[in-house]
Amino acid sequence: MYILGIESSCDDTSVALLDCSDDSFVVLAEKTASQVDVHKKYGGVVPELAGRMHAENILPVVEEVMNEWREKMGEQHALPDVIAATTGPGLITGLLVGAEVAKNLSYFWNVPMIAMNHIEGHIHSVFVSQQTTDNSKQNAIPLSVDRSPSSLTFPALCLIVSGGHTELVLMRDFGEYDLLGKTRDDAAGEAFDKVGKLLGFEYPGGPKISKLATDGNTNAIQFPRPMLKSDDYDFSFAGLKTAALYELRDRPLQNEQEKKDFCASFEQAIVDVLVEKTKRAAKEYHVHTIILGGGVSANPKLRTELQIMIQEMPQAQLLVPSPQYSMDNGAMIAATAYMKAKKKEFTEWQDVVVNPNWEVYDK
Ligand code: KG4
Ligand code: ZN
C-alpha cells in the first residue's frame, strides 16, 4: 500500500511516501522543510509564523516527494492509495495547513484520507527504518524481524517525550491506548529548551545540551528529581527548570567545562526520572515491549539508560526510533496510517476536524 504522510503540527513541514506492508515500512521519497532558522531568533516556535511558513512550503514539498516517487515508479500520474495528515495535537496554525492540503488532495485525486494523531505517529516511528531511506525499494534493507509491526508483542508501554508532551501510555493493541501518567507542567523537551535558552543556546536547546553533556560530570550539581518517588506515573519538570535558573544565578558558570558539567547534571536529572517511572510502570503492567518516541528520544543518554534498564527485563524488548525519525516527520504519519487503513478507518474529507488538544488515549 502506497501512503502519502503529511506532518505539520509544529515547525517542520514534512512529507513522505511509503510503501507499507505488515513486514516493513519502506520510505520511497521524503522531504522536510524545517523552520528552525526562523524561530530560533525568538527562542521558540511562533505559531503565527509557523502557519505562514507551512502554507508557503507545503505544496513545493508535496510536489517534490510526488515527483521523486513517480520517477521511481516510472509512471507520471501515479497516485498513492491513502493520504494521511496529522490533525492533532499541535499548533492549530500548522495543523490546518496540513489538513487542508490533505483534504484537497483527497477530493481531487479521489484517494481516501486518514486523520492522524501526532503522538500515535511518534509511537509508530520505531518501525520506520533509517536503512530504508536510500530511496530505492530494490536497495532498501528490510527491517529486522523484531522491528516489524507484526512482531510487536502487547501490552506495550510507550514513553513519549517531545517538546509538547511527556507521557507514559499503555498500548494494549494497535489503536488501543490508556494514559498512565503525564507531565503536570512542562514537557521534558520544553525543559531542555528553556534551560538551553538560559544557557544562551538558540532554539531548540535540547540537542545542544545533550551534546555538551557528553563531556560533562553528571554529579557536579545535585539537581532535584521531581516526582521521582510519587505514587503515580505523572511527571513535573517546571521545578527543575527553576532550580537550573537559581543555580545559574547563584553560581555563574566560569568556563566551558563548568557548562558541560551543568548540562550533564541537568540531563541526568531528567533522564533519571523518565527511566525510573518507565521501569516501575513496565513492571506493574508486565509489558512485553517498551517504545520510546518523540523528539527527546534522540537523546543518547536516555537511549542508553533505557537500554541498560531493559537488560533487567528478559521478557521485554525495547524499540527506539532511528535518530532521524525521532523528530517530527511525515514517514511516521504514513506508517501509522497503514495500521488504520488495514482496518478501513478512513475519514471522509468533509468530516476532517483538526484538534490541537487531541490526546492519543481519547476514546
Ligand atoms: O517531537 P518533536 O520533534 O516536536 C514536538 O512534537 O514537540 O520534539 C522536539 C523536542 C524539542 O524540545 C527538542 O529540544 C527535543 O525534542 N530534542 C532533544 C534532543 N533532540 C531533540 N532533547 C534532548 N536531547 C536531544 N538530543
Ligand atoms: Zn512531535
Question: Which tens digits make up the pLDDT trace of 217-275?
Answer: 999 999 999 999 999 999 999 999 999 999 999 999 999 999 999 999 999 999 999 99
Q: Which residues surround ligand 2, an ion (CB under 5 A)?
A: 162, 328
164 is in an annotated binding site: yes
Q: Is the dihedral of CA 145, 147, 148, 152 positive or negative?
A: positive
Which amino acid residue places its CA nearest to atom 1 of ligand 1?
Answer: 295
Which residue has better confidence, 207 or 150? 207
Confidence of residue 139 (pLDDT cuts 50, 70, 90): very low
For ligand 2, the distance from its centroid to the CA atom of residue 204, given in whole angstroms, is 13
Residues 315 and 328 occupy one common structural domain: no
pLDDT at 82 over 60: yes
pLDDT of 144:
43
Grid cell for residue 310: 531493559
Distance CA 138, CA 159 (A): 34
Average of pLDDT values for 63-86?
96
pLDDT category, 143, cuts 50, 70, 90?
very low
106, 245: one domain: no
Q: Which residue from 296, 297, 301 has its CB within 8 A of the most atoms of ligand 1, so it is best to mutate?
A: 296
Whether 117 maps to a domain, the answer reads yes
Name the residue at shortest CA distance from atom 23 of ligand 1.
Answer: 206
H or E segment at 117? strand 113-117
Q: How many CB atoms lie within 10 A of CB 280?
A: 15
* % residues pLDDT > 70 (the chain): 95
Mean pLDDT taken over the chain:
94
Q: How far, in Å, is the centroid of ligand 1 from the Cα of 283? A: 27
In the reported structure, the alpha carbon of residue 327 is separated from the centroid of ligand 2 by a whole-number distance in angstroms of 6
CA of 206 to the centre of ligand 1 (A): 6
- Find out whether 161 is annotated in a ligand binding site: yes
Domain that holds residue 309: 152-319
On whether both 273 and 344 belong to a single domain, the answer is: no
Asked whether residue 46 falls in the same domain as residue 102, the answer is: yes
My answer on whether 103 and 159 are in the same domain is no
Instruction: Assign residue 335 the CATH number of its domain.
Output: 3.30.420.40
Residue 362 lies in a domain: no
Same domain, 165 and 117: no
163 in the same domain as 58: no
| 162 found inside a domain | yes
Confidence (pLDDT) at 146: 52
Which residues have CB under 6 Å of ligand 1?
10, 162-164, 189, 192-193, 204-207, 210, 294-296, 298-299, 327-328
332-348: pLDDT as tens digits: 999 999 999 999 999 99
Q: Which ligand is nearest to the CA of 91?
A: 1
* CA 163 to centroid of ligand 1, rounded, Å: 5
Give the pLDDT score at 261: 98
d(CA 323, CA 295): 9
pLDDT value at residue 23: 85
Ligand nearest to the CA of 161: 1
328 CA closest ligand 1 atom index: 3
Question: pLDDT tens, 87-105?
Answer: 999 999 999 999 999 999 9
Q: Which ligand is nearest to the CA of 296?
A: 1
Same domain as 74, residue 6: yes
Query: Distance between CA atoms of 47 and 45, rounded to whole angstroms?
Result: 6
Q: Is 118 annotated as a binding residue?
A: yes
Q: Look at residue 129 in the predicted model and tell me its pLDDT.
A: 72
Into how many domains does the chain fold? Answer: 2
326 is in an annotated binding site: no
Residue range 148-200, pLDDT digits in tens = 888 799 999 999 999 999 999 999 999 999 999 999 999 999 999 999 999 99
Task: Summarize the confidence of residues 324-335 as an average pLDDT.
Answer: 96
Residues 156 and 98 in one domain: no
The rounded Å distance from CA 224 to ligand 2 centre is: 26
Name 11's Cβ contacts closer than 8 Å, sequence gap at least 6: 34, 35, 36, 39, 45, 50, 53, 94, 328
- Give the single-character DSSP code of 184: S
Instruction: Record the pTM.
Output: 0.94
41 domain-assigned: yes
Dihedral pair phi/psi, residue 128, rounded to 5°: -90, 115
Let me know whether 252 and 269 are in one domain.
yes
| Burial bucket for residue 72 (CB in 10 Å: 0-12, 13-18, 19+) | middle
Same domain, 307 and 327: no
Cα→Cα distances 329→23, 33, 336, Å:
20, 10, 12
Proportion of the chain above pLDDT 90, given as a percent: 90
Does a structural domain hold residue 38? yes
Q: Cα-flanking dihedrals φ and ψ of residue 281, to 5°?
A: -65, -40
